[in-house]
Amino acid sequence: MEVITDPEVDAVWICSPSQYHADQIKACAANGKHVFCEKPIATDLAETVEAINACNEAGVKLMIGLQRRFDPNFLRVKTAIQNKEVGNTIIVSAIARYIFACDCVVKF
C-alpha cells in the first residue's frame, strides 16, 4: 500500500474485496488521503463506525461508491417524487437488475 504514503497522491480509490475496506480506509486516513471506496465501508457496524471516525478525525473526505447514485432512471424517479408527479410518496422500493444493456428511461 505504498500509494498511501506517496506525498504526490491526494486521494485513493478503494475497490478491493469488502473485508479489507475498513482497514484500508483507516490507513488512508492516517496518511491524510481522501478516500473513494466502493460499497460497503466494512463488513460489520463497528468497523464501519471506526472507518468513518478515522476519516473525520484525520479531516479527510470519505465517499462511498453506489453504482446507482447517478443512474438516469433513479434520478428520474427522485425528480418525479420531489416534483409531486406521483402523489404523496411514503416509501419507494426499487429493484434494478439489468440482464443486458439498454437505454431504458423511466417515464411518468
User: Chain-wide mean pLDDT for the chain?
Assistant: 87
Res 51 pLDDT > 80: yes
The 10s digit of each residue's pLDDT in 67-84 is 676 778 888 888 999 999
Contacts of 89 (CB under 8 A, 6+ apart): 81
Q: What is the pTM of this model?
A: 0.66
Domains annotated on the chain, with CATH? 2-65 (3.40.50.720), 67-108 (no CATH)
Residue 70, burial from CB neighbour count under 10 angstroms (0-12, 13-18, 19+):
exposed
CB 81 within 8 A of CB 56: no
Q: How many CB atoms lie within 10 A of CB 56?
A: 12
